[in-house]
Amino acid sequence: MSGFLPRILAIFVLTTLLAACASSPAVRSTPTGSALPPPDTTSATGAYEGGTDYRIGAQDLLEITVFGVPDLNRAVRVNSNGQISLPLIGGIQAGGRTIPELEKDIGASLEKTYLQNPQVTVFVKEYTSQRITMQGSFKKPGIYSLTGKTTLLQSVAIAGGFDDLAKTDNVLIFRQVDGKKMAAVFDVSAISSGAAEDPQVYGDDIVVVPNSTRKSAFQNFIKAVPALGLFFLL
């Protein structure tokens, strides 16, 4: 019974996504062989973009320290508009900024009137803006927060690895790109051996791994992918 629920949920996710893609005009095809593009969230807040630092997002909890001025130290949560409120400064935009950028912004605001050469440190205590959904034949399927730049292999490890029935050569990533639904299929065995590149996963990605007992249903899904205009990557 322990593996029954994840299998049912995986089938449900695949069926739901397939139905949504078939009925929605917001689906764009991408030439085979191209990399799966970054999602829409890379242009908003709380995203890892390429090799850059983490970009702060809504609901992240920040610990802000001003060296030598303990009265200005605060733990603040980013609101839904991406802003935080600090003593002497008031509201300041944190969402979409990297940690060094926010440290510089806070320091510049304090330096204008109150302090000379302030040394500001920003630490992210809770990452809550970036989550991925791991569904199907994982040992611990669920929704997980990203705490840094994360690859597909690393996300599999976060979910406890695959269970015994996982079909690791057909792992799907579903993603929203330019307002369109996109999907790609990856062979994790090839990635693990170094024969294929380990792709980056982003917040709001849905990673689904089918199991071998549902092989025929999954093959039918894969065959339908090009007709639906979904991006398909082997």
Q: pTM score, two decimals?
A: 0.61
**Whether residue 209 is found in the same domain as residue 136:** yes
Residue type present at position 88: L
**Whether residue 144 is found in the same domain as residue 210:** yes
| Residue 33: DSSP 8-state | T
Mean pLDDT of 8-18: 48
Mean pLDDT of 203-226: 68
What are the residue ranges of helices labelled H in the chain? Answer: 4-23, 99-113, 152-158, 188-193, 215-228
**Whether residue 118 is found in the same domain as residue 137:** no
Q: Is residue 53 scored above 90 in pLDDT?
A: no
Pairwise pLDDT comparison (170 vs 50), residue with the higher score: 170
Domain with 81 in it: what CATH number? 3.30.1950.10
Q: Is residue 59 scored above 70 in pLDDT?
A: yes
93: Cα within 13 Å, side-chain hemisphere: 9
pLDDT of residue 220: 55
**Whether residue 118 is found in the same domain as residue 133:** no
Element (H, E) at 4: helix 4-23
pLDDT of residue 223: 53
Domain count, the chain: 2
For residue range 37-51, list pLDDT tens digits in order: 888 765 444 455 444
| Distance between CA atoms of residues 10 and 43, nearest Å | 29
Domain finish residue from 98, 126, 154: 126
Residue type present at position 172: L
For residue range 114-141, list pLDDT tens digits in order: 888 999 999 988 877 788 999 999 999 9
pLDDT of residue 184: 87
**Whether residue 39 is found in the same domain as residue 137:** yes
Q: Is residue 76 scored above 80 in pLDDT?
A: yes
Domain with 98 in it: 61-126
